[in-house]
Every structure is written in structure tokens, then in C-alpha cells.
Amino acid sequence: SAVISQKPSRDICQRGTSLTIQCQVDSQVTMMFWYRQQPGQSLTLIATANQGSEATYESGFVIDKFPISRPNLTFSTLTVSNMSPEDSSIYLCSGKGTGLNTEAFFGQGTRLTVV
Amino acid sequence: RKEVEQDPGPFNVPEGATVAFNCTYSNSASQSFFWYRQDCRKEPKLLMSVYSSGNEDGRFTAQLNRASQYISLLIRDSKLSDSATYLCVVPALIFGAGTRLAVHP
């Protein structure tokens, strides 16, 4: 499967600021996703990043808080805006082909701490 | 009912044991399923796809029971290196909460 390079791997940010996380895939992928994972919890899907159009957000997540870009089939960014301590989490990007039986593969994750 | 549910464990088993995890799903129309493994502080990585006819890869066997809407993962001859969290994934990339496995000497 393809390889995703995600950065930064970790960051400590002040509340009220914003952080942009980048994911670069080494080949074109049809679908890209952004997840959040709280310590000891499973992955929660934030949104599907759509190439050339607005992302599709899951319930509880909004564009103003988590703007997403996907300018092409190999790159996507997630911004965590106006951060608060509750945003402290691991953020993961994922890529997947279109086939039903194609698996998703993940970036290494960004460990975010908001102080 | 949650879209996907897993027993969170932890399952503490000795080396060499056989251990099985189940994962139930709510959407009867679901077509494709996966098991992922996640090590501490690492990203999830694909372990196995789950096919209708079952799927075996070495010590690992994945099965699908459509009638009861669950998938299972069987690990035979457990190794210390099998210690991890195992996540089931249903279509639309909904992840289960994960089952923690700890294999001890």
C-alpha cells in the first residue's frame, strides 16, 4: 500500500491558536480521511477530504473548527482552529482506494497537546 | 445500538494460547470488513481483510457471520509480539473501540 508522511508528529500549542497538520501520500489515492483518537479510545472520523471541493464532516465536527484542504490526490491538510485543551488528542490522516475491499492506511499521527 | 462494538478487554493470555475476539456491527448491508492492529503510540495498521468465506493468514483467522452480524479474529499460538490493540473496521471506515491483548510469558 501507499505511504503517508504526516507532520508534525507532535506539538504543544497555546489555547486560542491554530495548528495545521499536513499529510503527503507517495502516490495518488482516491479517498483521504481525518480521524481523532483520544488516549485509550478508538478512532473517531472527523471528515472525508474531497479533492477540489469542501470536505464532508461527520456529526459533531464543523468546518469552522476543522478546516480541511485537499488540493490534489496526494496531499491534504487539517487545521485545528482556536484550540482549547479539549482538542488535545492524536490526529490521524488516512488514505484509501475506491474499491469496497481496499483497506485504509494511515499516517504516523500528530500528538497535539493544548495548554 | 452502536454501529460497531467490541469487547475492550484486556485479554491477558500466556504465550502459546489461542484467543478470539468478536466484533458486532449494526448495518446488515455492510459488505467489507477489516481487522487492524494498533501498537501503543503508533498508527493502526492493516492486519487482515475479512471475506465472506473466511480468511486465514498463518496464525490468524478472520471470519464473518452475516446472520448474527459479527466478525471474529482468532489468534493461535500467541506470541509476546501479538500484544497490541485490535480494531475491527466496518464499511465507511467506522472503527470499533478496540480490544487490548496482552500476551505474557
Whether A106 sits inside 8 A of B98 (CB atoms) is no
* Distance of alpha carbon B29 from alpha carbon B90, whole angstroms: 11
Whether B31 sits inside 8 A of A100 (CB atoms) is yes
Nearest-CA distance B42 → chain A (Å): 7
pLDDT tens digits for range A71-113? 999 999 999 999 999 999 999 999 987 776 678 899 999 999 9
Whether A100 sits inside 8 A of B93 (CB atoms) is no
pLDDT tens digits for range A29-78? 988 999 999 987 889 999 999 898 899 999 999 999 999 999 999 999 99
Average pLDDT over chain B reads 90
Name beta bridge partners: A112: A11, A89
Q: 10 Å Cβ neighbour count for A49?
A: 24
First-residue to last-residue Cα distance in chain B: 38
* Distance of alpha carbon B14 from alpha carbon B77, whole angstroms: 9
Is A105 touching B (CB cutoff 8 A)? yes
Is A96 touching B (CB cutoff 8 A)? yes
- How big is chain B by its Cα radius of gyration, in Å? 13
Q: Is A52 left (phi over 0), alpha (psi -120 to 50) or beta?
A: left
Minimal-distance CA residue of chain A relative to B4: A42
pLDDT tens digits for range B9-32? 889 999 999 999 999 988 877 778
Whether B93 sits inside 8 A of A45 (CB atoms) is yes
